[in-house]
A and B are shown apart, each in its own frame.
Chain A
Amino acid sequence: MSVSFRESLARISVSLLAGALPAAGARAQSYGYGEPLRNDNFGPGFNYSQIDAALLVYQEGGGRVMAIEPTLDLSVHAADGRALTLSAAADAVSGATPNGAVPSDKPQNFVTPLKAAGSSTTVTSASGGSTVIQLPPTPGQAATAALGRQYTVAANTLPVDKGFHDHRAALGGGWTQPVGGITDMGFTLGYSRETDYQAITTSGHVDQTFNAGNTNVSLALNGEFDSSFPFGGIPAPLTPMNAQFKTPTSRNKTQAGFVLGLTEVMTRRWLLSLNYAFDNQSGYQSDPYRIISLVDPLNGEPVQSLYEGRPTKRTSQSIYWDNKIDWGPAVTDLSARYYTDSWGVRSSTVELDQRINLTPSIYIEPSVRWYDQKAASFFRYFLVQGQPMPAYASSDMRLGSFHALTYGAKFGLSLSKRSEIYLKAEYYHQGGAAHPAVAFGQLRQQDLFAGTNAAIAFIGYSWDFH
């Protein structure tokens, strides 16, 4: 830790002690109808701290993925604009996830590596509908170690792997402060670790406010270094799925980007934000567990499952436009985004939130979000045997063409002048082509859209204190 950083921490500690004293000269403000309870000695220009705690519960329909994610955040603000933020998050994810294969009118078998190489652990039908199978040992491998996991998917059913589960823990921190004539400068660091993935993130930003405080421009740079070390190793793209352990066991991805932002107080009641974001990713970006079916050219029956393969370069750009309008007892938040990337993905997003202050301490906020996506150029529902093999192919529906609708409502309650609890419930629905024109043979009878429906519940608690 550098001396200057230690000095900064020491200074803010002194500031916080000073801030613990009752603030003198509290501002008096008159608010209009429905103004929520607010403290007048919190916010910019005051020493205060804030704790945020939240719990997210996410459940997909059809017995698919469930996730639970608690998060905790502490931010310490000094009156002169310096702020320290610390955050922690954890999540547990489990459930069935589509493996990428097309449904068939016959039962299908899939094999994956079983536990660690050499493990004698057994997998029974009670743990994910799988069975242990004996494999032909590879040269130099003990016969007892040559085990794989096999699961069977019934006819006319979307193939899913029920053995999916993961845990994640993430820590983050950030520091921001005015520097000379610059309104605000800061940086963040983050670390996230899963069973099979690690991400290190960092960012820095510069903000400048001018025009009597009505205009703010910002530039934020970010960098990310990820490592993927999937269970069973990294499969070679477009090779047959099998139960052998593979090499290499890990691959990396680096990411760098920036966001250029403009925020303008348009009128007393209207706040406008405009962002341009650019991002570049380089390295391993395939899903190591995902496969794509190779089908018979005559009847569309899957004859083989191949590991997917995605390009190792991806650049993306997006424009984001947000408006907040105060109508008195209500606040409208309307935003739109257009996104495009070098994989051929194009998307448009429009989101509308309408906050209505029912009483000074209670509000409701219905919201709706509409999303439309055009597929990546290498997205395929399946590959056809006998046709030239493409350089890249993925049947991941997240890279396909679909639209999504999210609707929900938030309910907020100020428990005191310093604390608020809020709950939000949402439903997320993806829709797409179940019977695309490329389907033939038995595939024409199948539902080839493997999109997601999910229910989301979020409860959060925010507490300001001195």
Chain B
Amino acid sequence: MKWILPILALALSACAPLKDNFLGPQPYEKDLMARKEMQVDAYPFLTQAEEHIYFSKEASSGGRGFAGGGCGCN
């Protein structure tokens, strides 16, 4: 699966919305970043519930946050 990351990077780099004011948006350009859906974890409850399920059914955990589940589900 080593091909996945390069392909994703290529796909992203081709995206038009990604080119304006690269790495340096000014404070007055943060209107979109202020929207709830653009927060890093806009719906933490949902994220926690899904991570909990994957933790209990798969051998991997962590990455988005800490590994482990704080429970005996695995």
Residues of A bordering B, CB below 8 Å: 29, 31, 35-36, 38, 43, 52, 54, 56, 58, 69, 71, 73, 168, 170, 190, 192, 194, 196-197, 199, 201, 203, 212-214, 220, 222, 224, 226, 228, 255, 257, 259, 263-271, 273, 275, 277, 279, 281, 316, 318-327, 331, 334-339, 341, 343, 345, 347-350, 355, 363, 371-373, 376, 398-399, 404, 410, 422, 424, 426, 428, 430, 452, 454, 456, 458, 460, 462
Contacts and interface: CB of A to CB of B under 8 A. Distances in A.
Contact of B18 (A56, A197, A266, A373): A266
A325 B15 contact: yes
Contacts of B19: 267
B12 A323 contact: yes
Nearest to B66: A222
Contact of B60 (A212, A334, A373): A373
Contacts of A213: 27, 30
30 contacts: A29-B31, A31-B31, A36-B36, A43-B34, A52-B45, A54-B45, A54-B46, A71-B45, A168-B71, A192-B70, A196-B72, A201-B68, A213-B27, A228-B72, A255-B68, A265-B30, A266-B18, A267-B19, A269-B32, A270-B15, A275-B63, A281-B68, A324-B38, A331-B38, A335-B64, A336-B5, A337-B64, A338-B5, A343-B59, A372-B1
B71 A199 contact: yes
Interface of B: 1, 4-5, 8, 12, 15, 17-27, 29-38, 40, 43-46, 48-50, 52-54, 57-72, 74
The residue in B25, B31, B46, B60 that gathers the most chain A C-beta atoms within 10 A of its C-beta is B60
Contacts of A222: 66, 68
B62 A259 contact: yes
A452 B63 CA distance: 23
B40 A273 contact: yes
Contacts of A350: 4, 8
The 5 tightest CB contacts between A and B, nearest first, are A197-B72, A320-B63, A279-B67, A318-B63, A339-B60
B64 A320 contact: yes
A347 B25 contact: no
B59 A373 contact: yes
Contact of A318 (B22, B49, B58, B60): B60
The residue in A168, A228, A268, A456 that gathers the most chain B C-beta atoms within 10 A of its C-beta is A268
Contact of B53 (A73, A192, A456): A456
A214 B5 contact: no
Given A277-B62, A318-B62, A336-B4, 19 more contacts: A29-B31, A36-B35, A52-B45, A197-B72, A224-B68, A228-B72, A269-B20, A270-B17, A316-B61, A316-B62, A318-B63, A319-B63, A327-B17, A345-B59, A376-B59, A398-B57, A404-B57, A454-B53, A460-B45
